[in-house]
Structure 1
C-alpha cells in the first residue's frame, strides 16, 4: 500500500516540467498571460494598443509631451526574444509589449458615468461660473480628466471662453468613460542609456550657478514621466447654461447637471428635462435659448456622440464602443517625477531643480491669469428672481407751503412711500432733496404721503399716487396744505428689458 501511495519518478518529472512552463508565463492581476517568443514570432506579431505611451516624459508646467522615454522601451531582449501577451479583447490575439519591466492588463468593455459639481464658485473673465472640475490638456493629445481648467490648452477652457463674452454662464461637465487597457511601469524598470548619461553629466547640486544646466535637462526631458496609463474611450458633454435665465425659470445648478447625466445615459427623460434640452417653454422670451452643449468623443471610429433619448443612436453608440478595442485613446494616467528614477546621488539636485522650475512665475502658465472675481458670483447677487421687476428711484426735489401746525411752525416733514413701508424725515424748507431706491413691479402703484411730524401727533399733509412705468416721470402733488415736486425713474433689474421688464437681457461686457 505504501508503494502505491508514494509518487513515481516520472510523475515528479512531469510536475517539474509544468512548474517550469508556468514560470515562463507572466500572470497579471487581470488574468493576462504573456509568453516569451523567438525573434521571427516577435516580428510577425502586432503591438499591443498603447504599449509606447507608458514611460513617456512630459512637462507639467507647459503641458508638453516630450516624446522621449527615460525608461528603456526596447521590445526585443538581448537574446532576440520578446514578450507576447494574449489580448482577449481582440480575439485572443498575441501582441507584443515592452519587456518584463512593464505590466499590462485588460478590462471588460464597461462604461462608468462621471460628473462633478463644485459649489466653490470661481468666476471666469466676466463672471461665468464653473460648476464642475473640467479638464486640462497635456501636450497635443494627452488629456487628464477631473482637473481644474488650466488655461488655453484645454478644450473646456476654450468652450467656456467662447461663451463667456455673451452672458453669465454656469458650466458643467459630464462624461461616460470606458477603460480597456492599462500599462504600468514596474519597480524593476531599466533606464534609457541616453537618459542615464545625461543624468551623470548634471552637477551634484542645484544652485544659481548650475541652474542653466538643470534647465537644459528639463527642456529636454520635462519634469515627470507617465507611470501608468489607461486607454479606452470617452464621451464627454460640456454644457453652458445661462445663469440668470435659469434663475428666472427656477432651474438650479443641480437640476442642470442631473438632466445632462440622464441625457448622456440614454435614460427616458421627463418632459420638463426634454423641454430644457430643447430650450422650449422658457420664461423670458429669449430666442437664443437657455442651454447650449458640446459633445466630444475620444477614441474609436469617428462618431457624433449624440446619445440621449432626444437623439437615439444606439447602433452608432455600440459600434463606437466596439471600435475602442482597436483604436483606444488615453482616458487617464498617473505621473511621477523624473527624480524618482535616478539614484540618491543625483536625486536631490534634480528634485530641487524641478521644484524651482515649477514654482518659477516667469514660466508657469496659470489659469489665474484669466480668472477674475466679481460681485456677481451667485444667483442672488445679480439675477432677478421674477420677470417684470425693476429699480425705482424716487427723488423729492422741492416742498413748499407745507403747514401742519396752527400755533407754531412746522418742525419737520415725514415722507411715507407706500411700496415698502418706510418713514424718512426731511427738514422743513423750500428745497429738500430726498432720494429713495425701491425694488418694484412694473405697473405697481406708488403712493407718497407727507406728514407734519410732532412729538405727540403726525398730521397728513399731502397724499398722491402714480402708476410706475419705464422711464422717468415728473411728479407734482398739491392741496391747500402745500405742494411737493418729485421725480421717479424706473429701470429694469439686471438681465431684464422691455417696457414691462418681461424680456431676458443677456449680460454684455
Structure 2
C-alpha cells in the first residue's frame, strides 16, 4: 500500500489493494516447486494492519513464507495472467484465483463533512473489523464511534482544510482487480508474532502499557485475512463552501 500526498488541495492516494475466476491448482513435485515463483501478492495476507491509520505495518502475524510440505511438494496454481505459468502457493493460503481481465470501476462522491469522508475511507476495510469489540453506544445519546480511518492520510488532509475554512470534499475512485485469495481457517501464526504475544503481561495496566503499545505498533489492530490484488486510485479534492 502506497500513500502519495500532493502539495495541492487534492490529495492523491494510491493503494495497492489486496480482487478474483478460478485457478487450476495441483500438487507439484519437489523440483517443480523449487523452480516456481510465488503467486503475485502471496506475502500480503497475514500482515498486520492498523484499522485506525488504514496502513499495513510490515510485520506478519501469520506465516506466509512456508510453502514446502514435509515431502518437498507444494501447491502450484496456473496463472492465466502469465500464460499459464505454474506458481507456488504458501501453505496458509487457499482459494487463490485470477480474473480473466482487469475489471475497472470508476465512481465519484461528494461529502459535506470530514466524518463522512472518514467513513468512506474506512470502506476499504471489511465491515467485520469491529467484530468482538464493544463499540456500541446507547441509541438515545445520538453519538457515534468513529475509529476506522480516523488517522488516515485522507482524514488528516480533510481536517487540515476544515480547520482554516468551511470545505466540502469530492472523491473520485478508480479500481482495477486482478487476483484474489484468502488465508486458511485458523492460520498458523508466525514465530515472531508468537514470541511477542507471549511476552505480553497477563493483565493490561499502567505498568504494562508500554508492552501493549509496542505490540500494536508492530502488528497493528488486525491482520489481513483476505486479499484482492490490483490497483486503487483515490483522489480527494477540497472545495471551499
TM-score tier by shorter-chain length is 0.5 to 0.7
Q: Which residue of 1 aligns with 2:187?
A: 189
Residue among 109, 122, 127 paired with 2:102:
109
Q: Is the 8 A contact 1:135 1:154 kept in 2?
A: no
Partners of 1:214 and 1:196 in 2: CA distance: 14
Q: 1:117, 1:132 within 8 Å by CA — same for their partners in 2? A: no
Alpha-carbon distance, 1:222 to partner: 2.7
Q: TM-score, normalised by structure 2?
A: 0.65
- How far 1:196 sits from its partner (Å)? 2.6
For residues 83-482 of structure 1, the aligned pairs below 5 Å read: 83-107=75-99, 108-118=101-111, 121-122=113-114, 134-135=120-121, 150-151=150-151, 153-155=152-154, 157-158=156-157, 161=160, 168-243=166-241
2:42 to 51, 73, 76: 51
Structure 1 Cα separation of the partners of residues 70 and 30 of structure 2? 11
Report the CA distance between 1:164 and its aligned residue. Answer: 7.7
**Structure 2: how far apart are the matches of 1:148 and 1:202?**
25
Deviation at residue 81 of structure 1 after TM alignment: 2.0
1:325-359 CA distance string (max 9 Å, x none):
xxxxxxxxxxxxxxxxxxxxxxxxxxxxxxxxxxx
Partner of 2:74 in structure 1? 82
CA distance in 1, matches of 2:108, 2:48: 29
2: CA distance between counterparts of 1:195 and 1:148? 23
Contact 1:46 1:96 survives alignment (8 Å): yes
- The structure-2 alpha-carbon separation of the partners of 1:116 and 1:186, relative to structure 1 and needing over 3 Å to count, comes to farther
Change (3 A) 1:202 1:156: closer
Aligned mates of 1:88, 1:207 — CA distance in 2: 52
1:98–1:115 Cα change, 3 Å: same
Larger Rg: 1
Superposition deviation, residue 30 in structure 1: 3.9
| In 1, Cα distance between equivalents of 2:177 and 2:206 | 45
Q: Any unmatched runs of 5+ in structure 1?
A: 1-28, 124-129, 137-142, 244-509
| Separation (CA, whole Å) in 2 of partners of 1:71 and 1:110 | 29
Q: Which runs of 5+ in 2 are unaligned?
A: 1-19, 128-146
Q: Secondary structure at the match of 1:67?
A: strand
* CA deviation vs aligned residue, 1:34-61 (integer Å, no higher than 9, x gap): 1221232222222211110011013334
Partners of 1:70 and 1:159 in 2: how far apart? 32
Report the CA distance between 1:230 and its aligned residue. 1.2
- Structure 2 distance, partners of 1:187, 1:209, is 35
Q: Deviations over 1:432-485 (max 9, x none)?
A: xxxxxxxxxxxxxxxxxxxxxxxxxxxxxxxxxxxxxxxxxxxxxxxxxxxxxx
Deviation of 1:193 after TM superposition, in Å, equals 2.6
SS of structure 2 residue aligned to 1:109? strand
| Residues matched between the structures, number | 200
Q: TM-score, normalised by structure 1?
A: 0.34
